[in-house]
Amino acid sequence: MNGLRERISFIKEAERLKNTLRSAYTSQGRQESTAEHSWRLCLMAIVFADQMKTINLLKVLKLCVIHDLGEALHGDIPAIHQDHNLDKTKTEREDLKSLTASLPSI
């Protein structure tokens, strides 16, 4: 397999999302990780897919999985704590590019 080491390295870096805490809490009052957030978003997309017949579910699921990957590097910054002089979208995009730089183009 081409790029096996790079792919495994990427997976290891992305695993950091399991320890990246968000400002949201689970129903039992524990702070939620970004990985948990992404998993629940994917589950919601699957559960409601029949209500949105025109969507491409695979594309939606891919977006759900990758939308917060950049947080693996610098964490989640809640809106109320964001420095409005910084561009969070730009920073997260740069973090995502950095995180995926070793992956082969697919």
**What does the pLDDT look like over 34-82, one tens digit per residue?**
999 999 999 999 999 999 989 999 999 999 999 999 888 877 766 666 6
Q: What residue numbers bound the domain in which 48 lies?
A: 4-100
Diameter of the chain by CA atoms? 44
Predicted confidence at residue 90, as pLDDT, reads 80
User: Residue 39's domain is classified under what CATH number?
Assistant: 1.10.3210.10
In a domain, 86, yes or no: yes
The alpha carbon dihedral of 95, 99, 105, 106 has a sign of: negative
Q: What local confidence, expressed as pLDDT, does residue 85 receive?
A: 56
Q: Is 75 left (phi over 0), alpha (psi -120 to 50) or beta?
A: left
Q: Is 42 a member of any domain?
A: yes
Residue 31 lies in a domain: yes
Residue 79: inside a domain: yes
In a domain, 93, yes or no: yes
pLDDT the model gives residue 96:
87
Summarize the confidence of residues 76-89 as an average pLDDT.
67
The reported pLDDT for the residue numbered 106 is: 58
How many domains does the chain contain in total?
Answer: 1
Token couple for 21: 């805490």
- 7 — phi, psi (to 5°)? -65, -45
